[in-house]
Every structure is written in C-alpha cells, then in structure tokens.
C-alpha cells in the first residue's frame, strides 16, 4: 500500500490520534468527582445491604469500571456476577433491541440483587433486564447507576441509587463508549459531534 493511502486508512480509524482527549468537547464529571461519588454510594450501599450478602450484577461492558470501583467501597460480604447486553452498537441511539451476549452464571432465586449500570438513557436496557430478573424470582432487585439521562426516557424507570444526572448529550468515558472507544477515559465527557456525525 502507498504511504499516502496507508495514512488515510489509519486516520479513518482514528488510530493515529495523539490523544483521545482531543475528541472531547467538554469534561462533564471529573475523575475526582467520580471518586468522591463512588465512595459516597459505597458507604450508603454498605449500610443498606449489611447482612444481605447481595449479588451485584455488572451490566457489561459499560458498567465494568464503575462496578469494580464501587464494590471496593462496599465493606460487606457480597458476590459479583456479569451480564453482557448490547443495544447501541456503533450508534448514539438505541437500536431498541436488547441482545443478551452473556447471561449470569449465578441463580438469582431468593437473592438480594443489585444491578450496577453505567447509564440509564432510554431505559430500554434496564427495563428488559429487570423483567428478566423478576421472572427469575429474586428476593429483591435494586438498581444503582452512575449516570441518569432522564430526558430521553421512553419507559417509566427511576434508579434506586444514582450518581449524577447528565444532560441530553452523548457522553463517554469511565466505561462508556462510542463505537467501543473512549471507555478508558478517566472522566465523563461530552463527545464532539464531528466525531460521530
């Protein structure tokens, strides 16, 4: 391949960007604010789940960073499991179809379940998951989300615990992606529109 052609194919993939931070229009929630909030949520959950041996369910992939930080702030015995679902793919709008890519390994029957999400946007992902968990006879089901974007809700759903409410913009970082990228940003930022338009 000619050098020029190779260069343009690399650029098209965003591989040669000096830094991911260049694609961010605005930092919405700093690393420090996230750390403080996670500590606060962890303290609250420690009180509320004492003696309940909760099963914390991480909704992959977005909630991976939040979940692993959160459980380290919960000073009680608990168990972790992971479920992988996807409805956004490489788009900034929900496809409306929630696909289960990996189911739980643990039975939720009789368990106190805490669903850990990174963001509730339309609410479609969570409402699908909650229906599924209810059918499986959990003793209790609660939801903790780092971010809530209530403006775009299409189903009636309110989280039990919430870190931050965010405006109606596509946000990335700290687990949240656009087309699988930006999950490793240490903060939550708004993506420049030119990146996805």
Residues marked active site are found at 121
Q: Which of 66, 71, 74, 118 binds ligand PRP (CB under 6 A)?
A: 118
How far is the C-alpha of 152 from the C-alpha of 120, rounded, in Å?
A: 9
CB-facing half-sphere around the CA of 188: CA atoms within 13 A: 26
Rounded to 10°, the helix 64-71/31-48 angle is: 60
Nearer to Mg ion, 88 or 174 (CB): 88
Closer to ligand PRP by CB, 81 or 177: give it. Answer: 177
Toward Mg ion, which CB reaches closer, 49 or 88?
88
Output 41 or 191, the one with its CB closest to ligand HPA. Answer: 191
What does 127 bind: ligand HPA, Mg ion, ligand PRP, none (CB cut-off 5 to 8 Å by kind)? none
Torsion angle of C-alpha atoms 93, 98, 99, 105, degrees rounded to 10: 130
Q: With binding defined as CB under 5 A, does residue 88 bind Mg ion?
A: yes
Kindly give the residue spans of alpha helices, DSSP state H, lying in 49-191.
64-71, 124-135
Residue corresponding to tokens 């690393």: 31
Q: Which of ligand PRP, Mg ion, ligand HPA, none is residue 170 near (CB under 5 to 8 Å by kind)? A: ligand HPA
Binding string to ligand HPA for residues 166 to 195, with x set by CB under 6 A, is what?
----xxx---xx------------------
Question: Which H or E run contains 153?
Answer: none
Q: Which of 196, 164, 166, 193 is nearest to 181 (CA)?
A: 196
Alpha-carbon span 153 to 164, nearest angstrom: 16
**166 sits near ligand PRP (criterion: CB under 6 A):** no
Counting DSSP H helices and E strands in the chain, the numbers are: 5, 9
The interface mask with ligand HPA, positions 129-168, x = CB under 6 A, is ----------------------------------------
Residues that bind ligand HPA (CB under 6 A): 88, 119, 121, 170-172, 176-177
Residues that bind ligand PRP (CB under 6 A): 59-62, 86-88, 94, 117-126, 177
């Amino acid at each position: 391949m000619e050098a020029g052609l190779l260069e343009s194919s690399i650029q098209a993939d965003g591989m040669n960007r000096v830094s991911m931070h260049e694609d961010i229009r605005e930092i919405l929630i700093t690393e420090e604010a996230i750390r403080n909030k996670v500590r606060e949520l962890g303290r609250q959950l420690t009180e509320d789940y004492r003696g309940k041996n909760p099963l914390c369910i991480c909704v992959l992939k977005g909630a991976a960073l939040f979940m692993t930080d959160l459980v380290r702030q919960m000073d009680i015995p608990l168990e972790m499991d992971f479920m992988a679902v996807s409805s956004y793919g490489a788009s900034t709008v929900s496809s409306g179809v929630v696909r289960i890519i990996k189911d739980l390994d643990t039975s939720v029957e009789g368990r106190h379940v805490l669903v850990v999400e990174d963001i509730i946007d339309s609410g479609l992902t969570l409402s699908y998951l909650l229906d599924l968990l209810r059918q499986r006879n959990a003793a209790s089901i609660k939801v903790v989300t780092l971010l809530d974007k209530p403006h775009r809700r299409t189903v009636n759903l309110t989280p039990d615990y919430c870190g931050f409410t965010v405006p109606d913009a596509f946000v990335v970082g700290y687990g949240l992606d656009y087309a699988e990228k930006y999950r490793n940003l240490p903060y939550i930022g708004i993506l420049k529109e030119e990146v996805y338009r």
